[in-house]
Amino acid sequence: MSDAATDNAATPPLIRMRGVTKVYGSGQAAMHALRGIDLTIESGEFVAVMGPSGSGKSTCMNVLGCLDTPSGGSYRFQDIEVPSLTRRQRALLRRHRFGFIFQGYNLLPRTTALENVELPLMYRGTALRERRSLALGALAHVGLSGWEQHRPGELSGGQQQRVAIARAIVTEPAVLLADEPTGNLDSIRSHEVMELLRGLNRDDGITIVMVTHEADMAAYAGRVVQFADGLVASDLRQKECA
């Protein structure tokens, strides 16, 4: 066996779920959101997660992003058993290794684009000069140079989502978790955002896991995982759209 093959075999996947369950409530009122998820995601992948409402995909994303904990099974991130961490340790993992993008942008309306992007760096305790420089760089990376002092209400939907993406990448996360990132956008702006995400994955090597209901948005990913009834129904690699 070659050294390269040995190295690959020794490197754990970025994300590995085995038999992950999530139950809300108890007794007859128990709701089984996840019924035994097996999912492996390697560093550098772009994965689209699809499925009808109630299929478990959003619950799975919350578990992946350390926003929720599984009821059973194993979830390892960079070979760390996440459920065994304390709440503070999970918060630190979330803060330092994950970036989040939401359908509704989740920007602070009374602060500028620059200040919105600086926010996660403030939580880290990054000094003003450094966080200002990093935030300016992130906004430039998403094509918003010159828009730093505009508030969300002065920006289009597509521009607001770009600010949200800049905020998600300013901490240099290992993984971007995107929940319906084009859900509030028209077709043209949706494809612009997807091209941006594909570039972050392809050129910057950021792993992306994206929930979407739209097949044409999922086509940008290299892999599509279908959820149904709290389980992975299918997991297919595909050729990304041109």
Residue 4, pLDDT above cutoff 70: no
**In this structure, is residue 141 part of a structural domain?**
yes
Q: Is 242 inside a domain boundary?
A: no
How many domains does the chain fold into? 1
pLDDT in tens, 115-137: 999 999 998 899 999 999 999 99
**Inter-residue contact 163 to 50 (CB < 8 Å):** no
Q: What is the mean pLDDT of residues 103-111?
A: 95
Chain segment 147-198, per-residue pLDDT in tens? 999 999 999 999 999 999 999 999 999 999 999 999 999 999 999 999 999 9
Residue 88 included in any domain: yes
Q: Is residue 80 part of a domain?
A: yes
CA angle 180/186/189 to nearest 5° reads 85
User: How large is the average pLDDT for residues 199-216?
Assistant: 96
From residue 212, give the alpha-carbon distance in Å to each of 221, 225, 238: 11, 11, 16
Spatial strand order of the sheet with 223-228 comes to: 98-102, 175-179, 207-211, 46-50, 223-228, 231-237
* Residue 9 confidence (pLDDT): 55
pLDDT of residue 240 exceeding 70, the answer is no
pTM, entire model:
0.92
What is the model's pLDDT at position 1? 44
- Structural domain range at position 33: 3-237
DSSP characters over 1-69:
--HHHHHHHHSPPSEEEEEEEEEES-GGG-EEEEEEEEEEE-TT-EEEEE--TTSSHHHHHHHHTTSS-
Asked whether residue 144 is domain-assigned, the answer is yes
| pLDDT for 7 beyond 60 | no
Is 15 within the bounds of a domain?
yes
Residue 148: strand, helix, or coil: coil
For the chain, how are helix, strand and coil distributed in percent, rounded to 5? Answer: 40, 25, 35
In a domain, 7, yes or no: yes
Residue 154: inside a domain: yes
Portion of the chain with pLDDT greater than 90, in percent: 90
